[in-house]
Amino acid sequence: MLKFIVRRLGSSLVLILVLSAIIFLLQEITPGDPVRAYIGLNASPEAVAAARESLGLNSPLPLRYLHFLGRLLHGDLGVSFRTHRSVVSDLGDFLPATAELVTVAFVFALVLGILFAVSGALRWWGTSVLRGLLLVLATGPSFLLALGGIVLFYSRLGWLPGGDRGANASGPTGFLMIDSLLHGDVAQWATALQHLVLPALALAIAPAIAIGRILRASLETTMNADHVRTARAKGLSEGAVLGGHVVRNSIGPALSMAGLQLGFMFAGVVVVEQIFSWPGIGNYLARSIPVSDFPAIAAVTLVLGTIYIIANALVDLLQAAADPRLNL
Amino acid sequence: MTVAKIPASRMRVLAFTSRTPSGSRASMAVASLLLLVTIVAVLGRVLSPYDPVQPVGMLNLPPGSPDHLLGTDSIGRDLLSRTLWGIQISWFTSLVVVASGLVIGGAIGVTAGVCGGWIDNLLMRFTDLFLALPGALVAIAIVAALGPGLKNTLIGIMIVWWPYYARIIRAEVKSLASRPHVEAARLAGVGRGRLVLRHIVPGAVPTALVTASLDIGNVILLLAGLSFLGLGQSAPAPELGADTARSLQLLLTQWWIPITPGIAVLLMSLIANLGGDAVRQLLNSKR
């Protein structure tokens, strides 16, 4: 197991390096001169040349990449052209809101996915209507789900708020739903939850269907397997059959699908946060795009990409824990 | 508690077709929806009643207005015309992306599958590397770096879109290469090039086509997302995601103006998914 863990983490490290190399190359080809951005548009040619030298822009490409990596390791992601602040402190401000939203959306996606997977076994006509509705919604773009949610539940029915987080996080975690509980503020907790429902649902529906479909297929395969028939024939209760013989065997594919879906969620969060004015890094990225603020764009891609790579490594380890045959 | 066995016919979600007795005829009908959208896309400019860029009517007309079926936007442009033009761009762009995935991924997959050995290993490690990155996010970064525009959007998505195809086509080529008919051809003295082109590649075409047709919907959604973020064509050009983004401030008063392009995206992606499923059933039943 240890060997597997080490190897899996090693490959994640390689992936993160590749991602950083891609970002670095993009930074190189992006139009706009970093020197001009750094010392101003009115600088004299001599000053530009001097800055070019001092910033190390005259050294060969591989060396510049090593420089770039070195700065990354020191937590230096550059300065945003738009906010004129260091990108790292911008990210520090905006990351918790995104982390909370994505976590809640991921939980929604898992719950909806499991419901979707087992709903085929329920004998109630309403389930097929709900399933059909979910299926159609899952093929829609995330911005349509977000906007439709706002029109229906905020503007028409007035059940849910249509934007932002409802309050400012006051520490220590930056997760409103945890902080409010730590402060013993139940009313704020409820407000935070209400504000989370619509954006999290807009992010969760498509991944939920993807996870649910896979889970259903693998549940079906396992339920019809010989060892499950044997377990039933032994007279085990249905709960014992499920818990002891089905779940571990069928969870693997759904887990890896869940890991993949996280990538789509990270792309979706950019759109959804913009629509809900959510103070997260997705919204930060969305506002950096129109002004070509590449340091900010690069940093967000790097951070979200790294989280994605680590999350998928964890998914693989979980999978190996659930199914020791994968532990090769 | 008893858990009912899930009937096999309900396994494949979105496949209304498998429940009907005349399955293949129904599949044909659903698959032909793909053709129908393509025809609508081809004729988009002819079908649209007005110039999509010029103001042609009163402002903010609701859908169902006598001269403007889907209404008009905040500067009086006809929404139906803009949507039809948007559908044309969106549909053809996604077909181009899927085709590029087929060609690039297909070339890499066939090369890896046929050559085997270190070439296979190298190409597949490279493919896995790309597969393990969050493609949509990297596409956003690439387009943002290159600058917005349709051409750059295409480049950005194409760069991240091929690995999936490479994987699937390589697996198919590998399994075909060990089939008896390839063995027989090799024994008959068929040259390597002819072996690949005449005996292996045609066998991989159905799988590649099914993968591609099921993928169109994904590309449509990604394109709409990029366009919504302002990475597509610039201002007056009709584009579905961007049209929604530009009319967001009307959401609470004239909701249909931002919602209409989104529904067009939903319909295209729905038809692409249904059609892709039908294509899969048609090709699978033929085998």
Residue A235 contacts by C-beta under 8 Å, 6 or more apart in sequence?
none
Chain B partners within 8 Å of A223 (Cβ): 3, 5-6
Judge whether B142 lies within some domain. Answer: yes
Measured CA to CA, the distance from residue B180 to residue B159 in angstroms comes to 36
Smallest CA-to-CA distance from B105 within B83, B123, B121 is with B123
B194 exposure class (CB count in 10 Å sphere: 0-12, 13-18, 19+):
exposed
The number of domains in chain B is 1
Q: Let me know if A288 is exposed, middle or buried by CB neighbors in 10 A (0-12, 13-18, 19+).
A: buried
pLDDT at A293 over 80: yes
Torsion sign, CA atoms B41, B47, B52, B57: negative
The tokens for A106 are: 């991921």
Query: Shortest Cα distance from B287 to chain A (angstroms)?
Result: 22
Distances (CA, A) of B87 to A139, B30, B47: 16, 19, 12
Nearest by CB to B251, from A26, A31, A150: name it: A150
Contact by Cβ (8 Å): A8, A316:
yes
Instruction: Give the one of A26, A275, A292 whose C-beta lies nearest to B142's C-beta.
Output: A26
Q: Which of residues 248-267 of A touch B (CB under 8 A)?
A: 262-264, 266-267
Cα–Cα distance, B61 to B68 (Å, whole number): 8
The distance of B122 to chain A (nearest Cα, Å) reads: 15
Handedness of CA A74, A80, A86, A87 (dihedral sign): negative
Instruction: Please state the domain extents for chain A.
Output: 83-322
The reply to whether B262 falls in a domain is yes
Please report the DSSP string for A229-287 in residue order: HHHHHTT--HHHHIIIIIHHHHHHHHHHHHHHHHHHHHHHHHHHHHHTT--SHHHHHHH
Q: Is the pLDDT of residue B7 over 70?
A: no
Q: What is the mean pLDDT of residues B185-192?
A: 88
pLDDT surpasses 60 at B16 = no
Domain extent at residue B136: 24-286
Chain A residues touching B14 at Cβ < 8 A: 135
d(CA A179, CA A188): 9
Q: What angle do CA B244, B245, B250 make, to 5 degrees?
A: 70
Cite the DSSP H helix spans in B132-239. 135-146, 150-161, 163-177, 180-187, 192-194, 201-228
Phi, psi for residue B85 in degrees, rounded to 5? -65, -40
pLDDT score at B105 = 94
Per-residue pLDDT band for A123 (boundaries 50, 70, 90) equals low
| pLDDT (0 to 100) of residue B8 | 43
* Count of other CB atoms within 10 angstroms of residue A123: 6
pLDDT at A162 over 60: yes
Q: How many CB atoms lie within 10 A of CB A303?
A: 19
Kindly list the distances between the CA atom of residue B148 and the CA atoms of A22, B114, B142, B143, in Å, as whole numbers in the listed order.
18, 39, 10, 6
* Percent of chain A's residues with pLDDT above 70: 93
Closest CA to A219 of A260, A247, A239, A238: A247
Question: Using CA atoms, how far apart are residues B229 and A10, in angstroms rounded to an integer?
Answer: 35
% of chain A at pLDDT higher than 90:
29
Q: How close does chain B come to A217, measured CA to CA in Å?
A: 6
pLDDT single digits (tens) B141-159: 999 888 888 899 999 999 9
Tell me the per-residue pLDDT of B38-67, one tens digit each, with 9 for 90 and over.
998 888 888 888 888 888 877 877 887 788
Confidence band of B12 (pLDDT split at 50, 70, 90)? very low
pLDDT of res. A121: 63
B189: CATH: 1.10.3720.10
What distance in Å separates the CA atoms of residue A175 and residue A160, rounded to the nearest whole number? 20
- Distance CA(B12)–CA(A6), nearest Å, equals 38
The predicted model gives A91-97 an average pLDDT of 91
More confident residue, A245 or B112: B112
Q: Dihedral sign, CA of A21, A296, A266, A74?
A: positive
Average pLDDT, chain A: 85
The pLDDT of residue A50 is above 60: yes
A14, A26, A219 ranked by CB distance to B145: nearest: A26
Mind spelling out the 3-state secondary structure of A204-218?
Answer: HHHHHHHHHHHHHHH
Q: Is the pLDDT of residue A36 over 70?
A: no
Answer whether A247 touches B (CB < 8 Å).
Answer: no
pLDDT greater than 50 at residue B6:
no
pLDDT at A187: 86
Q: Which of residues 185-224 of B touch A (CB under 8 A)?
A: 217, 221-222, 224
Q: How confident is the model at residue A262 (pLDDT cuts 50, 70, 90)?
A: confident
Tokens coding B236 = 């007056």
Computed on alpha carbons and rounded to an integer, the radius of gyration of chain A in Å comes to: 24
The lowest-confidence range among A20-24, A235-239, A248-252, B13-17 is B13-17
Q: Which among B161, B15, B130 is positioned nearest to A19, based on CA atoms?
A: B130
Distance CA A236, CA B88 (A): 58
Interface of A with B in 38-57 (CB under 8 A): none
Q: Does residue A27 carry a pLDDT above 60? A: yes
CA-based torsion, A10, A11, A15, A17: positive or negative: positive
Q: Cβ(A29)–Cβ(B145) under 8 Å?
A: yes
Predicted local distance difference test score (pLDDT) of residue B264: 94
* A54 pLDDT more than 60: yes
pLDDT in tens, B200-230: 889 888 889 888 988 999 999 999 999 999 8
B268: in domain:
yes
CATH of A83-322, one of 3.30.1240.10, 3.30.70.260, 3.50.50.60, 1.10.3720.10: 1.10.3720.10
Flag whether B29 is in a domain. yes
Is it the case that residue A124 has pLDDT exceeding 60?
Answer: yes
The H or E element spanning position A180 is helix A176-182
CB contact under 8 A, B241 and A290: no
